[in-house]
Amino acid sequence: MDSSSLKYIALGIGAATTATALSLHLYNKSLFAVTIVPRPLDKDCFALPPREDFIKLLGAPTNVGYAVTGGAGFIGAYIVEQLLARGEKHVYVLDLKPSNNIPKGTQFVECDITDYGSVKKALDNRSIQVVYHVAAIIRFMDEFPEQLPVSMKVNVKGTENVIEACRELSIPILVQTSTSHVCVGKDLNPIFYGNENLPYTTKPFNNYAKTKALAEQATLAANGTALSNGGVLSTGSIRPTSTIYGRGDRWGLDTYFSTGKLTIHHPGVVDDFCYVENLALAHLLLERALREKPKESGGKAYFISHDDPLSRENFFAILEKLLPNRFSRETMPYPLMYVLSRLATFTSRYTSTSLGDLDMFTACSDRMQWSQHCFSSQRARKVLGYEPFYSVEQGVAVSWNRFQEGKK
């Protein structure tokens, strides 16, 4: 073993020891000791409204062409599904490769958003009038400068390429998917019912938040700029709030439903839980507003939430109420979480060693877990006419139904 390896091992041991001591100190100080207010639950809270009422909210078909970058991903696939449910006949899914997640009735177009030529080719000669730019790389575990280029390339350069292609090809409407984390800083100051007057954070949690803030700013700055045919580009950004859940979310409900295990940590931290179909609906409402009232709606960002923040303990209680006896609880002590997250940070930054799923749980991921922030969707309600159709509980119920259907 060479001296360089020994040095890294020594650094790792020192970091782990320091982390252990600090985490135990924080734990003993009861940093996370909070009072959890129980959420009233009964069987009626899972009763679902008629599906046709939701379809009506999607509006009438426009009969123009649509492109959805990242349309094979979690949020993108729901946007595509709703466009089809609205009656649109010309929906193109732009992604790196085809997926089983792509709904029938769409056309897949291979596209690398980091390559302008690829973006232009994917959007050209298809009568596309609206682009939903959802594609992104979500490396919420990365925070160091040497890890930044990959997120810059996809999230910032990719967005700039989409904007430029819209201008050159005279595509008049661009809806971008952003994130509420553009306003959340690693200073950990709580945010309760924050609105769009909040500034962009100068201390982003991670490279994802940093690059999405730059992408959002580029999108909003492009509003009102000229198209090659003499028209005007109308743009807007949707900011999903924190925990987006629904069938297909991989690390959330899908995992809980599949394993029957609920791993609880920081149970009293209050957060937004946003059901994905409500979120996708907000995208369609922004598209409509950009078409019908671009001066009022364009060049703005919109937080999308249920305006119903709750603790993680509350959310797990909803799952247990819906499906009694299906789940078992696992509690991860914070000292252990702290040490593991710092170990993951060390190995991901200084070695080529993979710790499996633990690679995603680095120090900045840990800080996000105990950050309390929730946001108001009042601007979206006022300007876009947004109302969350499904409650938090109903969203869980629909997700379970979809999960069951997917197993057939």
- What CATH number is given to the structural domain containing 213? 3.40.50.720
Q: Global pTM? A: 0.89
Q: What is the mean pLDDT of the chain?
A: 88
Residue 65: closest CA among 228, 223, 287: 287
Cβ neighbours, 10 Å, residue 350? 13
The identity of residue 55, as a single letter, is I
- Please indicate, yes or no, if residue 3 is contained in any of the structural domains: no
- Please indicate, yes or no, if residue 259 is contained in any of the structural domains: no
- The string of pLDDT tens digits covering residues 111-147 is 999 999 999 999 998 999 999 999 998 877 677 777 7
| Strands of the sheet with 373-375, listed across from one edge | 191-194, 373-375, 270-271, 310-311
Tell me the pLDDT band of 307, cut-offs 50, 70 and 90: very high
Is the sign of the CA dihedral 61, 66, 71, 76 positive or negative? negative
- Please indicate, yes or no, if residue 277 is contained in any of the structural domains: yes
Q: What is the pLDDT of residue 130?
A: 99
Residues 6+ apart with CB under 8 A from 253: 245, 246, 247, 396, 399, 400, 403
CB 350 within 8 A of CB 284: no
Is the sign of the CA dihedral 38, 42, 46, 50 positive or negative? negative
- Please indicate, yes or no, if residue 149 is contained in any of the structural domains: yes
CB 240 within 8 A of CB 274: yes
d(CA 169, CA 228): 7
Can you tell me which residue has the tokens 């003499």?
Answer: 230
Confidence check: pLDDT of 177 > 80: yes
Can you tell me which residue has the tokens 């800083």?
Answer: 185
d(CA 120, CA 23): 50
- The string of pLDDT tens digits covering residues 206-248 is 888 899 999 999 999 999 999 999 999 999 999 999 899 999 9
Q: What is the pLDDT of residue 5?
A: 52
Q: Which domain holds residue 94?
A: 49-251+273-310+375-392
Q: What is the mean pLDDT of residues 366-371?
A: 74
- Please indicate, yes or no, if residue 173 is contained in any of the structural domains: yes
- Total domains in the chain come to 1
CB 295 within 8 A of CB 224: no
- Please indicate, yes or no, if residue 150 is contained in any of the structural domains: yes
- Please indicate, yes or no, if residue 66 is contained in any of the structural domains: yes
d(CA 143, CA 238): 23
Confidence check: pLDDT of 198 > 70: yes
Q: What is the pLDDT of residue 142?
A: 72
- Of 59-73, 286-300, 318-332, minimum mean pLDDT range: 318-332
- Please indicate, yes or no, if residue 2 is contained in any of the structural domains: no
Confidence check: pLDDT of 32 > 70: no
d(CA 150, CA 152): 5
